[in-house]
Homo-oligomer: A and B are copies of this chain.
Amino acid sequence: MAEGNWSDMVSSASQVRHSETRGSIDGILAVTKHDMGRVNDLILSMAGSRVDLIPEIANHLISSGGKRLRPMLTIASALAHGYEAGDGHVKLAACVEFMHTATLLHDDVVDESDLRRGKSTARTIWGNQASVLVGDYLLGQAFKMMVEVGSMTALGILSDASAVIAEGEVWQLAAAKKMTTSEADYLAVVDAKTAALFSAAAEVGPVIAGAGEAEREAMRRYGRSLGIAFQLVDDVLDYGGVAADLGKNTGDDFREGKITLPVILAYAKGDEAEKAFWRAAMEEGRNDDDALAEATKLLHRHGALAATTDRARAFGAEAYGAAETLAPSPVREALLDVVEFCIDRIR
């Protein structure tokens, strides 16, 4: 991955762009609006079942207010390559969202999470058992829809992603709560758990549109880099961003003992006492409010949040460069805006 000068690229590129949509997802919402309506209808229909419990649980997650960025990427990347032949992009976008929803259902069981986006998780309402099985059902429905679309290439991309995501989850489980996790280890997990589905979501667009390998590669790179950038920005936001405003951090990752890149970077720069603090916090669960305040102080002292932001910017530059290869169109602008939106979340 090239360590591009992201700020320079953005400022030069933005001269030819709609300034009112800079750093927002309004552009992608607008260009995908019509097709996302069809995606949403298809999702509701395919989450149906003669077994009432299935739509109950599926709709709990589906209606929980996610941005649906992944299926929007599929729609936008298909449109950016001139797809207009039918509903293949709509079906593949629904597949991507189902794969994501299935992952969330299983993740909440694995992480024993009680809340997601401020709402009770399915497992706390209906139990772990139902969460596991409804996740399996949605995954089966996703593969059925892929078969309907009939593109073996798209099927290959999405089934690869499915195995890679699960492998990344198992790796994280095996390595969880170990402060020996390196930056490379962590990026490999993010690559598998988060970036693989972003990458697949973006790549199936040119595939369904019949575009060539170079176009596929560009969208794969766009999705992957955007996915990593998103996760790294989330990691920073969880500790309140780079401004030293301790009141803003949510600290969810810290309280759950999730070792993210800021923690890995601060640990690497810490003295023996600090290393002992991080081990106690992450490996032994000493993560009360006082510990969170101390952790945030250490992250700022060692510039770990700023350094993580720099890495997010570098991946953002990579995604930006990949989308810049597209022919000029409102969709291209929208995809570029998404990258800026991702990074601009850090204030």
- Give chain A's interface residues, CB within 8 Å of chain B: 49-54, 106, 109-110, 128-130, 132-134, 136-137, 139-141, 143-144, 146-147, 150, 152, 155-156, 159-160, 162-167, 169-171, 173-174
Residues of B within 8 A of A150 (CB): 152
Knowing A128-B109, A155-B147, A155-B155, say if A49 contacts B133 (CB, 8 Å).
no
Does A167 lie within 8 Å of B137, measured CB to CB? yes
Count this chain's copies in the assembly. Answer: 2
A-B contacts besides A106-B136, A110-B132, A139-B139, 10 pairs, CB < 8 Å: A54-B170, A109-B128, A110-B133, A129-B173, A130-B173, A137-B163, A137-B166, A143-B143, A143-B162, A144-B159
Min Cβ gap A157→B in Å is 9
Complex CA–CA separation, A159 to B144 (angstroms): 5
Residues of B within 8 A of A155 (CB): 143, 147, 155
Min Cβ gap A184→B in Å is 13
- Choose among B139, B159, B165 the residue that contacts A147 (Cβ–Cβ < 8 A): B159
What residue in chain B is nearest A161 (Cβ atoms)? B140
Does B132 lie within 8 Å of A167, measured CB to CB? no
Complex CA–CA separation, A132 to B103 (angstroms): 11
- Choose among B53, B132, B134, B163 the residue that contacts A141 (Cβ–Cβ < 8 A): B163
Knowing A53-B174, A132-B106, say if A140 contacts B162 (CB, 8 Å).
yes
Does A54 lie within 8 Å of B137, measured CB to CB? no
Knowing A159-B144, A160-B144, A162-B140, say if A54 contacts B129 (CB, 8 Å).
no
Residues of B within 8 A of A128 (CB): 109, 128
Q: Can you list 11 residue pairs at the A/B interface with Cβ under 8 Å?
A: A53-B170, A110-B129, A130-B173, A133-B166, A140-B160, A140-B165, A140-B167, A141-B163, A143-B162, A144-B159, A147-B156
Complex CA–CA separation, A128 to B146 (angstroms): 29
Complex CA–CA separation, A166 to B135 (angstroms): 9
